[in-house]
Structure 1
Amino acid sequence: MNSAAYQVSTGTLFPLGATVTDKGVNFAVVSEDATQLFLCLFDSEGNELSQLPFVSKKRGIWHMEVLGLKEGQHYGLRANGEFNPEQQLAFNPLKLLIDPYAKDLSDKLVWHEGQAAITREGLLHPVDSAYCVPKSIVRTVDVNPERPARIEIADTSRALYELHIKGFSQNLPIDDDLKGTYLGVISPAGIAHLQHLNITTIQLMPCFSFMTERHLQQLQLNNYWGYNPISFFAPEPSYAKQDAITEFQQMIDGLREAGFEVILDVVYNHTAESEFDQSSVCFRGLDNAHYYRHQDGQYLNYTGCGNCIDTYQPASVRLICDSMRYWVDVMGVDGFRFDLGVDLGRTDHDFTPNAPLLQAILQDPVLSKTCLVMEPWDIGPNGYQVGQFPKGFLECNDKYRDTIRRFWRGDDGVVAEFATCFMGSRDVFHKGHKSALNSVNYITYHDGYTMKDLVSYHQRHNLANMEENRDGHGDNISQNFGVEGETDNVEIQVQRLNQQLCFMATLLLSQGTPHILGGDELSHTQHGNNNAYCQDNEITWQNWHDNEDRSALKQAISTLMALRKAYPILAEMHLDDDPLYQHTTPDQIEWLNEQNKPMAEKDWADSSRHYIALTLIPADLSTRFWIVFYNDDAPIDVPTPAQSTNIDVLYQTPGMSVSDNSLHCAYRGVFIAKL
């Protein structure tokens, strides 16, 4: 290889990655422990043209400027250094490495045996991996000067809608070349559907370039969800027609133009390199001992994915914050949902809300202004931290999920806990410290049953995952109404639809920030699969054929979202016993039993209770709301509240009706009215 054909200078430490200059391209790469780093230049056909040794290293950063190189140059990295697996040193110059800051890659990464740095016997792997590793591409990514302005969302109006790029658009009635793509999401059909729901915020499932795990590839399955990234900058190419970067930006601009805030589900806790003896295609080959958590010569696998990023290291903090700013400033997103977020808040090993990465995000003048949603757990020690993150983060609340499921299943003794969750889980997000809006309330998420399956299956049905039905949650707190799975029984169909409407109404009337799983409004079924991460097929792709159930669910969401926007008290109450709101005039609440009398201590203690109601009065006394929840199927009649001569019904599920100063509950349901 001819390295003499290229002239180099020392260049600069920052910015990290490849940056086009007036004279060529500057390269800057972190590798604390390497003894020598090489820049490998390739042509567009994948032929390696030259290996250039980096000429300068400062502060653990190798850097140089290569004169005459231009935009679009394909390249990779190789690193020399000690090979000592017991010391977490995995340097192998035969392994081509992706630049962690590369904005674009030549191909999608696919696992090959040749990517390993170490053999099964623990020796240096002898195969050159250039043939099976995507090349990094020098790419200057510009911002559209006519990009629509960011959408300002009131905190009390925010409602998250979780959307998978392919799952949402694959079956839409759109041109075939748009199906399953970024651009398919913003097709007229896609936008019209999202706007009809009245939701505010699109939560995109992972869009970082990702890889299918080795075991799935061997089973001829694909990673569908995308929680296995190899790059924190390059967008996933399989969702693009031609250019993933440009088309992702166009999607964001289109969603903004349609009035939506957009947040991105990000996986900063681990990478697709997995266990030590699997792929060495980026971080492992550059700086394994610094990028990944380890102890006594072994990875600390707090993610269950083979490795976890050591977010106590300065290089990792910088990498993640740089990535986040790129997706905000350049790619256009409005915030992030963090997968397995406890790993991001660990120091050496333990979690603390004062961890360097969390504090770096919250003090950053760009990132601190975005919408930040945390999944507040991982599988490491003390890995469950719901309610413990700093105030700038919203947190997914699984306690809400489980309690609401138990209530609507009709479990005894749940009413008091239901009321607590309904009021924003102040046992977790404590009064005086956090708003109820910090609680991201959800009943379904991508990792579990869809809402249709929650009312149709008692047991998981995951055989298609080829793990003998052992994967996924075993206890789903579900109810099938007498038949497991699909049925032609009309009575059961009516019960299942009513249950879905009860779930949706509860979710959107609860204090906090609601999260809706995309497809639930279409009564989408995964046929009982509660871990469909590897099902890239009709199991997960949303079906768009309309029917009465779907129309009812879509209309319910639209109506209830309109109420949340019109009446902020439905999302966040200011109570007089909450020091957080001591500077405001308090709202008022009263809990009522089925005689419309204030709930007494014996009412709260009654484990057989299945009815609970409340009245809400805003601080300005402008109106009074009556909200009712009934989770039994024995008919009851409830007198309307005193001094309620005019009842304006805002929403009711099918079994609820008002007549002659009485609310008739024919069976389980939800009711809200203005009095």
Structure 2
Amino acid sequence: MRADNRAKGGAILFETGVEFAVWSQHAAEIQLCLFDETGNKEFARLPMAREDGHVHRLFVDGLKEGTRYGFRADGIYAPENGLWFDPSKLLVDPYAKQLDRPFRHDPRLGVFGEDTQNLMPKAMVTRDTKVTLEKPLFEPGGFIYEVAVKPFTILHPDIPETQRGTVAALAHPSVIAHLKRIGVDAVELMPITAWIDERHLPPLELANGWGYNPVAFMALDPRLVPGGMAELRDTVAKLRAEGIGVILDLVFNHTGESDRYGTTLSLRGLDNLSFFRHQPERPGELVNDTGTGNTVACDHPYIRQLVIDSLRHFVLGAGVDGFRFDLAPVLGRTANGFEAQGGSLSAILDDDVLSDRIMIAEPWDIGPGGYQLGNFPAPFLEWNDRTRDDIRCYWRCDDWKTGPLATALAGSSDIFSRNGGTATRSVNFLAAHDGFTLKDLVSYSHKHNEANGEENRDGHSENHSWNNGIEGETRYPDIIKKRRDDLKALISTLFASRGSIMLTAGDEGGRTQRGNNNAYCQDNEITWVDWKALDEELIAHTAFVVALRKRFSVFSESGFFDGDGDVEWISPSGNPMTIGEWETANFSTLGMLLTTRDGDSRREVRLAVLFNRSDRAHDFLLPAPDTAVWRLLSASGNSRKLGGTVTVPPRSVIFCVGN
């Protein structure tokens, strides 16, 4: 029976026992360590048999589901040659699907000869449960809501305290009601797989609250998902029942074992030379294309299969809609650089389970040729930082930004038409977990990361932000109003753009991180969403523009405009923008006239989206629609008839429909 499933990694449960397998080319020997039900007492240490293909395998009779285990790998310890074998280190199975406890950083995890048995989580033997696969709910053009599970739910007043901060809390009726109110199509969960703190954080009494420092690619972190895959599966099912998909943000580009002075937890101890990139002819020097100390060799056949198996695990075991890949160029890196049609990216798209899932790339890393926006193979969607910066700079009133704004609104055809592309694959966003919150974008001209313990040296210095007159929090009503107006304008612009849309949880209500634009290490009130402090007017405005996006088909369509009646760019005169107006450095207005299907009337209509970034009102002359009259659309639900002219208030975006 065991011959039916000869896996290269993991623990496979059979009726009579468990088969363990792990891959290592350079280890002299690998031992299986078995622990009692507490995970604290080792009761067996068994040598594994090496097979052809560098797989080490062992079947142990009588073991059951829930058995706790780890590996020890022996061999040459010569870090200068890329070899880190140290049998004193207990290692987590790269294929572990459940851990009995979270990772906790301890300096001894990186000291040669220091036994780490009592410092390490133990993998647990699990029984796979498969869901009935359904088509992903999320479709390109929809609204993605980026969620950090703990910060989003830990202060929610309606969620039971025992459930706050967990994946299960996302299925609470109050959370679902909020998601549906603002029209979320899919939640994108920031990393929920097991991670470890960076070594500099514990001395600062800080902790990684984002999870972008993984150790195990499949095992869920017990702090966020104490119920394991069953909890994730149940939450996905409950969200799907409400029409909301789930996308997982996964990190395959590096591990928390870090650089030369880091820890030995899993891949490093099993076969560092095979699993990570090293400088050519300097095997002891790790490549740092990620900025975290190491870079996973995603083109290695074992790692490639581990990535594929991890993705399949979450689709088959929980039914997720798709994935967002952190620093995704690493998935396409080979010894020759980034290859869009390389083996790992192609393997993901070609897999029979994964082929219909949503795939989203963060299309940059810090290595050579690391900026790859627009170069990922279709149907990958890509985070578009160009759109982010152009919209920010437009509303900051930078010069020469009218043309870039129009390009962003139209889906960035200049980027995504490469290689014969005919449709946008852009994920448009204005703020994400990394950087200022949307409110901080209009409240701070400079980053304020002092709480991170690095003397404000960390984080991006150029945020294309502005403070509306005072740096940080204020009680001045006029400045509060200006900031709210700017936030409304930014949100309106974002949801009026062609492509998929992403908003970070809490930004619809004006959450703040007090100017911290690198808050990964602030697992506290700095990042936790204060539900009682959210701005109801902003939430209502967000719900309004999302509803408009769903009502008018033009926004969620992905094909590029052809200019044959589908879009027209107008100035306040109502006439097409002239070359002179496009080339006016500080031109402060823009009109976008669209031909679209109206989901309410089920007829083809004209829709005008009018932008005014100046500090004074501007009148727009609207062309006569083919039918009768223009109406101004508002969050109140009332549409007001207009004459031939409409006044666009200062610092605002308005929507008018001709019907």
The TM-score bracket by the shorter chain reads over 0.9
In the superposition, relative to structure 1, how do residues 194 and 575 fare at CA in structure 2: closer, same or farther (>3 Å)?
A: closer
What are the residue-to-residue correspondences of 1:374-523 with 2, within 5 Å? Answer: 374-430=361-417, 433-523=420-510
What are the residue-to-residue correspondences of 1:128-147 with 2, within 5 Å? Answer: 128-143=115-130
Indicate yes or no: 2:77 matched with 1:79.
Answer: no
Q: Give the aligned residue type for 1:617.
A: T
Indicate yes or no: 2:596 matched with 1:596.
Answer: no
TM-score, normalization: structure 2?
Answer: 0.94
What SS class does the counterpart of residue 533 from structure 1 fall into?
helix
What SS class does the counterpart of residue 14 from structure 1 fall into?
coil
Q: Give the aligned residue type for 1:58.
A: D
User: What residue is the counterpart of 1:260 in the other structure?
Assistant: 244
What SS class does the counterpart of residue 413 from structure 2 fall into?
coil
What are the residue-to-residue correspondences of 1:65-76 with 2, within 5 Å? Answer: 65-76=59-70
Candidates 90, 100, 105, aligned match of 1:96: 90
Q: Give the aligned residue type for 2:186.
A: T
CA apart distance, 1:648: 2.2
What are the residue-to-residue correspondences of 1:533-612 with 2, within 5 Å? Answer: 533-545=520-532, 550-572=535-557, 574=559, 577=562, 588-612=566-590
In the superposition, relative to structure 1, how do residues 185 and 273 fare at CA in structure 2: closer, same or farther (>3 Å)?
A: same
Indicate yes or no: 2:7 matched with 1:14.
Answer: yes
Cα pair 1:205 1:265 within 8 Å, conserved: yes
CA apart distance, 1:165: 0.6
Q: Deviations over 1:359-394 (max 9, x none)?
A: 100111111211111000001001101001001200
Q: Distance in 1 between matches of 2:49 and 2:476?
A: 74
In the superposition, relative to structure 1, how do residues 434 and 107 fare at CA in structure 2: closer, same or farther (>3 Å)?
A: same
What SS class does the counterpart of residue 416 from structure 2 fall into?
coil
In the superposition, relative to structure 1, how do residues 574 and 25 fare at CA in structure 2: closer, same or farther (>3 Å)?
A: closer
In the superposition, relative to structure 1, how do residues 435 and 517 fare at CA in structure 2: closer, same or farther (>3 Å)?
A: farther
Cα pair 1:458 1:480 within 8 Å, conserved: yes
CA apart distance, 1:643: 4.2
TM-score, normalization: structure 1?
Answer: 0.92
RMSD of aligned residue pairs (Cα, Å): 2.2
What SS class does the counterpart of residue 27 from structure 1 fall into?
strand
User: What residue is the counterpart of 1:6 in the other structure?
Assistant: none
User: What residue is the counterpart of 2:654 in the other structure?
Assistant: 671
Candidates 594, 599, 606, aligned match of 1:624: 606
CA apart distance, 1:402: 0.5
Cα pair 2:499 2:558 within 8 Å, conserved: no
Q: Deviations over 1:43-87 (max 9, x none)?
A: 123111111111242212111211111111111111121222222
CA apart distance, 1:218: 1.7
CA apart distance, 1:88: 0.8
User: What residue is the counterpart of 1:214 in the other structure?
Assistant: 199
Q: Give the aligned residue type for 2:25.
A: E
Q: Deviations over 1:295-334 (max 9, x none)?
A: 2121001101111100110001000000000011102211
Bigger Cα displacement from structure 2, 56-65 vs 332-341: 56-65
Identity among equivalent pairs (%): 38
Candidates 100, 125, 132, aligned match of 1:106: 100
What are the residue-to-residue correspondences of 1:162-311 with 2, within 5 Å? Answer: 162-173=146-157, 174-240=159-225, 242-295=226-279, 296-297=282-283, 298-311=285-298
Q: Distance in 1 between matches of 2:418 and 2:608?
A: 24
Candidates 142, 145, 149, aligned match of 1:161: 145
Q: Distance in 2 between matches of 1:208 and 1:449?
A: 25
In the superposition, relative to structure 1, how do residues 560 and 243 fare at CA in structure 2: closer, same or farther (>3 Å)?
A: same
Q: Give the aligned residue type for 1:245.
A: M
Q: Distance in 2 between matches of 1:35 and 1:331?
A: 37
Q: Distance in 1 between matches of 2:559 and 2:379?
A: 19
What SS class does the counterpart of residue 371 from structure 2 fall into?
coil
What SS class does the counterpart of residue 648 from structure 1 fall into?
strand
Structure 2: which 5+ runs fail to align? none
In the superposition, relative to structure 1, how do residues 15 and 84 fare at CA in structure 2: closer, same or farther (>3 Å)?
A: closer
User: What residue is the counterpart of 1:581 in the other structure?
Assistant: none
Cα pair 2:136 2:357 within 8 Å, conserved: no
Q: Distance in 2 between matches of 1:281 and 1:218?
A: 20
Structure 1: which 5+ runs fail to align? 1-8, 120-124, 579-585
User: What residue is the counterpart of 1:661 in the other structure?
Assistant: 644
In the superposition, relative to structure 1, how do residues 573 and 395 fare at CA in structure 2: closer, same or farther (>3 Å)?
A: closer
CA apart distance, 1:551: 2.1
CA apart distance, 1:398: 0.4
Q: Distance in 2 between matches of 1:659 and 1:330?
A: 54
In the superposition, relative to structure 1, how do residues 429 and 128 fare at CA in structure 2: closer, same or farther (>3 Å)?
A: same
Cα pair 2:544 2:635 within 8 Å, conserved: no
Q: Give the aligned residue type for 1:287.
A: D
What SS class does the counterpart of residue 418 from structure 1 fall into?
helix
Q: Distance in 1 between matches of 2:496 and 2:252?
A: 33
User: What residue is the counterpart of 1:36 in the other structure?
Assistant: 29
Q: Distance in 2 between matches of 1:534 and 1:398?
A: 23
Q: Distance in 1 between matches of 2:517 and 2:559?
A: 38
Q: Give the aligned residue type for 1:434.
A: G
Bigger Cα displacement from structure 2, 38-47 vs 381-390: 38-47
What SS class does the counterpart of residue 65 from structure 1 fall into?
strand
Q: Give the aligned residue type for 1:71.
A: E
In the superposition, relative to structure 1, how do residues 576 and 658 fare at CA in structure 2: closer, same or farther (>3 Å)?
A: closer
CA apart distance, 1:546: 5.7
Q: Give the aligned residue type for 2:188.
A: Q
Q: Give the aligned residue type for 2:250.
A: V
Q: Give the aligned residue type for 1:277.
A: Y
Q: Distance in 2 between matches of 1:545 and 1:621?
A: 41
CA apart distance, 1:292: 0.4
Cα pair 2:246 2:322 within 8 Å, conserved: yes
Q: Give the aligned residue type for 2:6.
A: L
Indicate yes or no: 2:7 matched with 1:25.
Answer: no
Q: Deviations over 1:411-468 (max 9, x none)?
A: 1211011111111111111178335440110100010111111111111111111110
CA apart distance, 1:567: 2.0
Q: Distance in 1 between matches of 2:333 and 2:303?
A: 12
Q: Distance in 1 between matches of 2:634 and 2:290?
A: 42
Q: Give the aligned residue type for 2:233.
A: Q
Q: Give the aligned residue type for 1:521.
A: E
Cα pair 2:254 2:296 within 8 Å, conserved: yes
In the superposition, relative to structure 1, how do residues 135 and 666 fare at CA in structure 2: closer, same or farther (>3 Å)?
A: closer
Q: Distance in 1 between matches of 2:565 and 2:646?
A: 25
Cα pair 1:12 1:28 within 8 Å, conserved: no
Q: Give the aligned residue type for 2:16.
A: K
Cα pair 2:137 2:185 within 8 Å, conserved: no
Bigger Cα displacement from structure 2, 586-595 vs 307-316: 586-595
CA apart distance, 1:15: 5.8
Bigger Cα displacement from structure 2, 247-256 vs 408-417: 247-256
